């Protein structure tokens, strides 16, 4: 009879309470689990041998039953504008990307939550790849650890903001994303403020309700809307056939926003599709009564898609119409286009 190798548990897939429970099953007190969890997220920790305040016998037991696996950084590309794209190779050979965006007062990491994407948005390269699989918590958190290490090695300003806007639909992988959020915001974990973390969705309305219940509005919510009506959104985003705009906005109204918080409405402007004055006016009417700010982004070219960005004048006019209706409207500049790191361009490919 062939014996199967014992399954090793990746501790970086676990929340603090799960690490504590794991240690208790091994016969150790809860405080050892809390010590262990804190070690998992100290900079530079790669092995149990480094955890010097844990007993040697305990460390040997951990080495035999658990792992500390993180995704491998396969390549880092730097854009002319300072943006960097990190290509990761996962244990099964699947590749994903995240994007590190430097700004004057912040360093933002755009984090992937799936390999590929099943949403099929016609303007997005990741959607054209199709869906490979969900990412585990360690594979989500691992992108943040890699970015943090990269910045520390350069003595650059630290990572300040996280946006779940990379490859994949975060709410289609909600359980793993929630576990990752708990690890990222745990004081013994990576200790990020929930106020600095944003989850974006293409419109999975029931999952927005679930995210609101689970996080009580502490996590920022962004909605990839991209159209002022169902007719246009049906063409751009297949998810709208299942959860049309009315259902999506109802979920947004029910989201438990803290005072002074607003939902971010993401709107990619595509020439001749959704960028007319009438579209801006309709968008303003559609969002009336919602606590939102609007983020406009001219379309980023994607291979095989015959869309184009509008002129700068058309973008400015669209923004002005929304301003006149009383909205806060931000114009997001595309970053990392020259390395295919801009919004909608991630494909998990090496540069050569």
| pLDDT, tens only, 49-60 | 999 999 999 999
DSSP 158: P
Which candidate, 107, 180, 178, places its Cα nearest to that of 140? 180
CA dist list (Å): 91 to 71, 166, 256, 341: 7, 19, 37, 23
pLDDT confidence of 333, banded at 50, 70, 90?
A: confident
pLDDT confidence of 332, banded at 50, 70, 90?
A: confident
DSSP 305: -
pLDDT reading at 71 higher than 90: yes
Alpha-carbon gap, residue 231 to 226, rounded angstroms:
12
Average pLDDT over residues 105-114: 94
pLDDT reading at 336 higher than 60: no
CA 166, 235, 219, 343 dihedral sign is positive
- Mean pLDDT value across the chain: 92
Q: How many CB atoms sit inside 10 A of residue 260's CB?
A: 6
Average pLDDT over residues 126-155: 93
pLDDT reading at 34 higher than 80: yes
Structural contact between residues 232 and 274, judged by C-beta atoms closer than 8 angstroms = yes
pLDDT reading at 111 higher than 90: yes
Which candidate, 161, 264, 140, 252, places its Cα nearest to that of 206? 252
pLDDT reading at 346 higher than 80: no
For 46, how many CA atoms within 13 A lie in the half-sphere containing its CB? 5
* pTM of the shown model: 0.93
pLDDT confidence of 347, banded at 50, 70, 90?
A: low
Alpha-carbon gap, residue 107 to 112, rounded angstroms:
16
Which candidate, 341, 352, 299, places its Cα nearest to that of 79? 341
Residues carrying an active site annotation: 97, 343
pLDDT reading at 344 higher than 80: no
Average pLDDT over residues 3-8: 57
Average pLDDT over residues 305-333: 94
b/e burial code for range 212-241 (CB count within 10 A of at least 16 → b): beebebbbbbbbbbbbbeeebbeebbbbbe
- Give the residue ranges of DSSP H helices in the chain: 16-25, 30-40, 56-65, 125-129, 137-153, 174-185, 205-215, 230-236, 239-242, 245-254, 277-286, 312-324
Return the higher-pLDDT residue of 230 and 156.
230
What pLDDT sits at residue 247? Answer: 98
Structural domains in the chain?
9-67 (1.10.150.530), 72-339 (3.20.20.70)
Structure tokens at 295: 């983020």
Which candidate, 112, 134, 135, places its Cα nearest to that of 125? 112
For 19, how many CA atoms within 13 A lie in the half-sphere containing its CB? 28
pLDDT over 70, % of the chain: 93
pLDDT tens digits, 176-194: 999 999 999 999 999 999 9
What pLDDT sits at residue 2? Answer: 45
């Amino acid at each position: 009879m062939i014996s199967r190798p014992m399954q090793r548990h990746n501790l970086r897939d676990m929340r603090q309470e799960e690490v504590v429970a794991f240690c208790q099953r091994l016969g150790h007190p809860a405080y050892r689990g809390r010590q262990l969890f804190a070690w998992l997220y100290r900079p530079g920790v790669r092995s149990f041998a480094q955890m010097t305040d844990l007993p040697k016998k305990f460390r040997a037991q951990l080495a035999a039953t658990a792992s500390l696996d993180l995704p491998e950084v396969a390549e880092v590309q730097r854009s002319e504008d300072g943006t960097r794209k990190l290509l990761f190779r996962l244990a099964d050979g699947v590749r994903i990307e995240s994007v590190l965006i430097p700004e004057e007062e912040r360093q933002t990491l755009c984090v992937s939550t799936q390999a590929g994407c099943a949403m099929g948005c016609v303007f997005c390269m990741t959607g054209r790849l199709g869906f490979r699989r969900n990412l585990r918590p360690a594979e989500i958190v691992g992108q943040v650890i890699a970015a943090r290490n990269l910045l520390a090695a350069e003595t650059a300003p630290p990572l300040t903001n996280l946006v779940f806007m990379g490859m994949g639909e975060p709410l289609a992988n909600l359980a793993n994303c929630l576990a990752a959020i708990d690890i990222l915001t745990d004081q013994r974990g990576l200790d990020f403020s929930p106020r600095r973390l944003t989850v974006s969705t293409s419109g999975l309305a029931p999952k927005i309700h679930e995210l609101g219940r689970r996080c009580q509005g502490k996590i920022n919510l962004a909605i990839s809307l991209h159209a002022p009506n169902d007719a246009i959104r049906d063409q751009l985003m297949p998810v709208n056939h299942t959860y049309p705009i009315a259902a999506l906005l109802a979920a947004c109204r029910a989201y438990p926003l803290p005072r002074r918080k607003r939902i971010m409405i993401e709107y990619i402007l595509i020439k001749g599709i959704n960028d007319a004055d009438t579209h801006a006016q309709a968008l303003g009417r559609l969002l009336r009564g919602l606590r939102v700010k609007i983020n406009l982004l001219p379309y980023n070219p994607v291979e095989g898609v015959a869309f184009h960005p509008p002129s700068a004048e058309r973008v400015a006019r669209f923004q002005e119409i929304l301003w006149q209706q009383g909205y806060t409207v931000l114009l997001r500049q595309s970053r990392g286009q020259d390395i295919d790191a801009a919004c909608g361009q991630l494909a998990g490919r090496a540069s050569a």
